[in-house]
Amino acid sequence: MKAYITPHDFPNLDQETKMLAELGVELELINSVDPKVIAEKAKDGVALFVQYTKIPQETIEQLDQCKIILRYGIGYDNIDLQAAGKKGIYVSNVPHYCGDEVADHTLAFMLTAARKLIAINAGVHAGGWSFMQHRPIYSLARKTLGLIGCGYIAQKVASRAKAFGMDIVAYDPWLAQDKAAAMGIELVSLEELCARADFVSLHLPLSAETYHFVNKALVAKMKDSVIIMNTARGALVNAADMREALLDNKIGMICLDVLETEPPEANHPLIGLEGAILTPHSAYYSEESLPALQKMAVEEVARVIRGERPLSPVNLKWWV
């Protein structure tokens, strides 16, 4: 039997190769992102590992032997879930591998933005020794953090923010009130969150309903000083609207680890703009998180190959 993996940026595939070999499965690299090439090469595979490559319907329809498509990571908008479900192929993600890293990154965004660290640091390196020109500079204590989406990672953000003395509100129609209350999180409507939050952090999946979720209309409901952070999916944010909001002083700052197109074009609306902190989709990474991701990924695939149910399927809605 064979399993296939599309182009990736892992240093090695030792864990995957070893565990699959124990099941009599050989792992082979498909060194192409072309849907037709992937379909042709992977048509005899029992599993397909995917990091960033798009896997559309035209590819999935040719995967006659495939039992599972494994997406390395949390988001899965690069895979046609409906086509896979109708084909009888599980699509699984790895939802719990980098929660601490992304939560740490979100807190780093908050501290960097609130304390104006980038501008102050640049001033000192340029020979200055003043910070007053960079006001307003905020404390996190007694400020309100608004979480749009309150799942695994957002809850880790909340626990860290509580340690800084912040109040936490969240908009999440699927989170039970008693569970939120036990974590010190107040569930509110989206409108109330926007009105109250000093910081807004996005923790939503990307879908047709959440595309450009943060746009001019939503910003109009927020405080003019709000700091917006996104470590989820790039297309949740309308970057052109955020540029306009920054230039019109309708938001305080925006901090993005993910962009709609990665890497961005040189003329991206937020590149070079004061008030925008951008990192290159690095929130997930630590020296510990990458091997953990690979281990959890191949364990999920191994379960399905053994005839067991996967732990984190994301396409059962369309399962045949």
Point out the residues that are catalytic.
233, 262, 281
CA–CA distance, 311 with 165 (Å, rounded to integer): 36
Residue with tokens 């009599």: 24
Instruction: Single out the residue of 7, 97, 38, 118 nearest to residue 288, CA to CA.
Output: 97
Instruction: Tell me how far apart the alpha carbons of residues 260 and 279 are, in angstroms, rounded to a whole number.
Output: 13
Residue 44 carries which side chain, given as an amino acid letter? D
Do the Cβ atoms of 100 and 156 come closer than 8 Å? yes
Residue 130: CB atoms within 10 Å: 9
The closest of 82, 76, 83 to 317, measured between CA atoms, is 82
Element spanning 181, H or E: helix 177-182
Residues across the chain: 320
In Å, how far from its chain's centre is CA 283?
8
DSSP letter (8 states) at residue 237:
B
Q: How many distinct helices (H) and strands (E) make up the chain?
A: 12, 12
Q: Which of 57-64's residues contact partners 24+ apart within 8 Å by CB, and which partners? A: 57/82, 57/83, 59/35, 60/84, 60/87, 60/89, 61/87, 63/39, 63/87, 63/89
